[in-house]
Amino acid sequence: MFRQGDWVTIKYGEYQGRYGKVSAVHVDGSCMVIPYNGANEPGQVISLDDSGLSLIEPRILSRTELENLMKARVMYRDIAPEVFPAFNIRAGGTYRLEPEDIVEALRNINRRTDPLGEFKEWFWLIQNLFYEDLQIRERYDEDEFSDAPETEDQLFSTVFSLTERLYWRLEERFVSREDTEKYIVRFDEETSWDDNILTNTGLEETAYKAVCEDIAGRVRTFEYNRQRPRKEWVYCPSQKRHIINSYESEEALADTSRQEQALYRKCVKDLFALNDTQAMKILAWGYLEGSAVYRQNFRLAERYLLKLYQKTGDAYAANALGGLYYEGLTRKGEPDYEKAFFYYSYGALAGIDESIYSCGDMLIHGQGTVRNIDTGMNLIVDGYKDTMYRFSEGEFDNRFADYALKMGNICRENIILGMGARDAYKFYLEAQFAIRKRRKAGGFFRDEVVEEKISQAIQNIRETYQPDPDRNVLKADFPIYISHLFEDRFPIRITIGQDPSGYFLKMSRFRLVPGDTPRILVTFPELSYVNLVSELTFRLEDVGVVKVPDSGETFLTDGFTKNENTNALEFYSGGECIAAIEAKWFVIDVAKEKMLMKMSPGSI
């Protein structure tokens, strides 16, 4: 028995065979039906109850029609006027989907005006309507996925899984479409994007086309390779990228055979001929630093770094070029300061520390640019403070050693008013301490050169500033070398206490969240001493005034000053003096530490 609102197939009259909706049901079971007249466009989703759906016959596709649909010779929207309700189609037979069918489908889809939308619709049909009818062998199997498939099953699993992953990535993008998100489809290789593409849609289309070419390339190379011995195999660009990326480290590449290394070099060379960015990077850094497959060659490094910079504007390539020209590595040791400053400037604008302190040094000395001491000093001082803070936090693989070396040079040349050989020695000690920490942490290119420069600087400065190598006690009327602690964005924890040996002053950095107490970098050039400590302790002699908060001897402070009238050291919080101590001597004793700096250059 039909009900009002049911959809039915009309079997009588001039509208026989068309769809209609029941508007009234007579007592004898006959119905009054309003024929479908186009008010509900084909292709839209229409809610039908079960009884109505069961009466509407699906559009049955022949095997040939199914093949045409799978190869995207015909799209769903081409047959949508013949289908009601939406997607009410079935296959009359089965069809075995082959990798070449997917390639042809993508080729046909790309000829249409909306390839992204067409692809999504085409693959939706495969996944949701015709999966069983297509006799798909293995959609995705990790064991069958291969960048160089050797069997048809491997090939199909690889091609279909790439297609499937492309669909789901685009599905996510089509659903969310947030303007702030730059969606890029990436699989096993790095995709090179057109620099002119700025919109999300442009990025999607570029990614889509890259994956289409990837799929087609894998099928073409499989067909070419299947009748040839392995030594004669060829690879498509994505496979070449996979071969390159399969080596996780320089050590892994070094452990391979000569044949594998030769294949690696050939893949890089072929990709470079295609203007591939990744190949440019491999060649540039390979020849700059030397590797398992590339012998260090600064002239070739210059060539590939220039190519990389001109194509991408890569700031690290600019920084490396600056280093080549500054050291004269491409001209038998003769520097080219103008080129060096030009490229270092681009690196500095991108925030690369090596470029920043190099530009600062060149501005101070007028090398390759107009001399500007103030700007140069500001660059180096700001970088020194920033990297020292991060070094104290445990970030040993930063450029603190280089900034400290530059600071020492500035002091040695008396460029900073009031700072001379003693201060230079302090910075050189920090540089030596930092470079050793850095090299243990992995280090940077040419760290051995930096370490040699630091050792030479220490040796030279000791001709002017000669501390006692056996001294381990330092007395001063002020707790020296603590000012930088108060530049921290967090307060300092202070303890003014007393034990059987007398008064003491302890200082440590404070954090609002639980965890290890951040360490302090302390350097005493008089003692040839530098170290990272969690707490800095001063012994006090001839103590006069002692004032501590009512809350106890340990407190937090955000600033300090020395009262010129009372000679007391005053600690402040929120602009109010909360504690004070006056002593004739603030004493540092490093006798129990094992970090005493010996007089021999380069030793701790």
Question: Which of 51-60, 201-210, 306-315, 521-530 has the least mean pLDDT?
Answer: 51-60
DSSP-assigned letters across all residues of 102-118: HHHHHHHHHTSS-HHHH
The DSSP bridge partners found for residue 581 are 546, 569
Q: Is the pLDDT of residue 81 over 70?
A: yes
* pLDDT at site 82: 79
* pLDDT at site 387: 94
* pLDDT at site 52: 52
Q: Is the pLDDT of residue 488 over 80?
A: no
Question: Which of 137-146, 463-472, 500-509, 526-535 has the least mean pLDDT?
Answer: 137-146
Contact 515, 592 (CB under 8 A): no
Distance CA 375, CA 364 (A): 8
Assess whether the previous peptide bond of 85 is cis (omega < 30° from 0).
yes
Distance CA 162, CA 181 (A): 22
Tokens found for residue 326: 């500054």
Query: In Å, what is the CA distance from 523 to each residue of 95, 359, 527?
Result: 78, 27, 9
Per the document, the length of the chain is: 604
DSSP-assigned letters across all residues of 324-351: HHHHTTTTTT---HHHHHHHHHHHHHTT
Q: What is the mean pLDDT of residues 163-180?
A: 64
Contact 448, 401 (CB under 8 A): no
* pLDDT at site 11: 67
Q: Which distant-in-sequence residues (6+ apart) come within 8 Å of 603 by Cβ?
A: 597
pTM: 0.70
Tokens found for residue 208: 């889509």
Distance CA 405, CA 426 (A): 10
Residue 480 DSSP code? T
Q: What is the mean pLDDT of residues 206-224?
A: 87
Q: At what angle do helices 115-128 and 152-176 cross, to 10 degrees?
A: 120
* pLDDT at site 38: 54
Q: Is the pLDDT of residue 43 over 60?
A: no
Distance CA 445, CA 298 (A): 13
What are 269-272's contacts with CB under 8 Å, separation 24+? 270/237, 270/240, 271/237, 271/240, 271/241, 271/244
Contact 225, 205 (CB under 8 A): no
Geometric angle at alpha carbon 53, from 52 and 57, rounded to 5°: 115
Q: What is the mean pLDDT of residues 569-590?
A: 90
Exposure on the CB side of residue 94, measured as CA atoms within 13 A: 8
In the chain, the percentage of residues whose pLDDT exceeds 70 is 84
Q: At what angle do helices 373-392 and 421-440 cross, to 10 degrees?
A: 50
Binning pLDDT at 50, 70 and 90, where does residue 191 land?
very low
Contact 102, 163 (CB under 8 A): yes
Distance CA 535, CA 495 (A): 10
Closest CA to 557 of 581, 521, 588: 581
In the chain, the percentage of residues whose pLDDT exceeds 90 is 44
Phi, psi of 137 (to 5 degrees): -75, -65
Closest CA to 286 of 340, 244, 242, 333: 244
Question: What is the identity of the amino acid at 572?
Answer: Y
Q: Which distant-in-sequence residues (6+ apart) come within 8 Å of 39 by Cβ?
A: none
- pLDDT per position as a tens digit, 352-403: 999 999 999 999 999 999 999 999 999 999 999 999 989 998 899 999 999 9
Contact 309, 325 (CB under 8 A): no
Binning pLDDT at 50, 70 and 90, where does residue 177 land?
very low
- Residue 502: enclosing H or E segment and its boundaries? strand 502-509
- Residue 590: enclosing H or E segment and its boundaries? none
Contact 386, 356 (CB under 8 A): no
Closest CA to 316 of 338, 284, 357, 290: 284
What is the helix, strand, coil percentage profile of the chain, to 5? 45, 15, 40
Tokens found for residue 50: 């079960």
Q: What is the mean pLDDT of residues 506-525?
A: 81
Question: Which of 86-95, 395-404, 448-457, 536-545 has the least mean pLDDT?
Answer: 86-95
Distance CA 54, CA 192 (A): 51
> If DSSP codes are grouped into helix, strand and coil, which group holds residue 80?
helix
Question: What is the identity of the amino acid at 243?
Answer: I
